[in-house]
Structure 1
Amino acid sequence: MVNKAISLVGVPTDIGAGHRGASMGPEALRVANLAARLTRRGLDVVDRGNLQGPLNPWQPPVDGYRHLPEVVAWNQAVHEAIYAELGEGRLPIMLGGDHCLAIGSISAVARHCRDTGKTLRVLWLDAHADFNTAEATPSGNIHGMPVACLCGNGPQELISMGGQVPATSAPVFRQIGIRSVDEGEKRLVRESQVSIFDMRHIDEVGMKRTMEEALADIDENTHLHVSFDVDFLDPTIAPGVGTTVRGGPNYREAQLCMEMIADTGRVGSLDIVELNPAFDKKNQTARLAVDLVESLFGKSTLIR
């Protein structure tokens, strides 16, 4: 693994989501003992507490975006916090919050990669492609737009956050577990040429081959960012999300996915997003997320 110094950064907001409750995600992950479990793996874990930002006004969309000023404020806070942790040589784990926050975290990681001459690779573990725009979105919820924004397709305040437009480019992304793409979004995804390993692909070739393809050509100079949306997982094992989509990876597939990412030794930053305790059962989804994050940081059955 690249780094043994870990910083947890809580971002308690559901500002970009269509359901309330993702704001409670950071606390649920803490209750599930994320820090202690990673410390037990020999990592130096510091919990930086929670970032502050505007309350969710719960308003309808304006010009195709819901809560744009508030989304900008939260993402700016995320960007600065994550960029600072990377600058101190630490590995930041963003505890979300909804997935719009990846605009702040990934723009910060991209900026850090430009500073250090690293090559960025983003593994986007999600049921959704999150490539919507104001024109294509059925809801205006910005948690459906972060990848588009990071690739330069979105409102100026969000696409310019890292000081460069676009913050990243489509070839940086490998999207895994996708099984829900809005009609208008399908064309955008195809035109962008983002690499998508959807559930059909996983069904056809298996998780092992899928991950080999997604992790191909990673080298010593790669900064690997994992953006883990908990709705990546099948809702039978992870009910605690606002946007469940049937037919996701099962427990073993998810474990293999995380273990193969860990095997690269190149993980440099992580988002855990869209955990919604309001829909969970006895915090089981948070506990599962923590279990998988342990595997991402090298927990395995045997010493390999």
Structure 2
Amino acid sequence: MRPQQIKCPVCSDPLTRQEWVRFVDDPRIINKFDQMNRPFRVREVPCVGVGCNKNVCLVTPPAMATLDRELKANEITSLYKSILADDSTGNLSVTAQSLYTRFEVDLQNVVAGGSLNIQDLYTRICKDLDVIGQNRRKKILATQLTRNLITLETSAEAWRSLNILQLSRFPFVKCSNCSYETCTACGDGSHHDQSCSELLQSRLITETNPDALATLKWKIENSKNCPRCAIAITREEGCFRVDCIYCGFKWCWHCSREFDEKHGFYACQNSASGSINSNSKNDVPELGVPNVLAIQMKMSSQIAKFGM
């Protein structure tokens, strides 16, 4: 969701748009770049509902107009009241009424451009939801509420950060065409009572098709969730470094921590042995990557031959 920056292939210095467009002959490439690198770029995934060929929007652009923001604020307030209300009576308890009153004041402060920001309010809502508890209906309402709240954010960087939080905290989105819920983390149907890994494990028990069973086992063995946005990433070869295409977080496949200068591409500082990736020992290196093991073996044979 962060705009991609073009860098000089020689010195790696960032280039402005005015500088690099002079070297692009096809205007369609420039238009595609502009489309995919808008400040508030929207991501979509295919809906997995039966017979539905629409895309599901993961994030929603901000509401800039004053009237749109006021309408969104009214919708958010109504959703929050529905979440706090008792499922059987529809009334608010003393605690729920206190939370609702405080929320109304805070939301008006945000809409009016006061001292409170959207991120503070978002964090407070998540804490309130943890206190009051959530059943399936309330989880769906909470997802709608927080998505609407994010549309009130007008700062591109803050909007991006909030959407990363949204992907990890409320991963289920409903298709506007067929109303089917999709998990943005694993791309499967919604599973409110299970994590993505628990869902795959449960399917191992019920799956009878040999090919589908083999695919499930492969996904379990070769999939991990991004530590920042929780999007499921699948890979079975390559080095330890992973660059998440959704949030841009760079992390180590071995330990799931941020990839920094202490990490090696084929060695992890948090590994017990600190050795090369065990899955890659017998693999042919990727194109452009030197075969370190072959070089070491050749050097060892030369040393033994000449008695060095």
**TM-score category, normalised to shorter length:** under 0.3
Q: In terms of Rg, which structure is larger?
A: 2
Higher relative contact order at CA 8 Å, sep ≥6: structure 1 or structure 2?
Answer: 1
The structure with the greater share of residues assigned to strand is 1
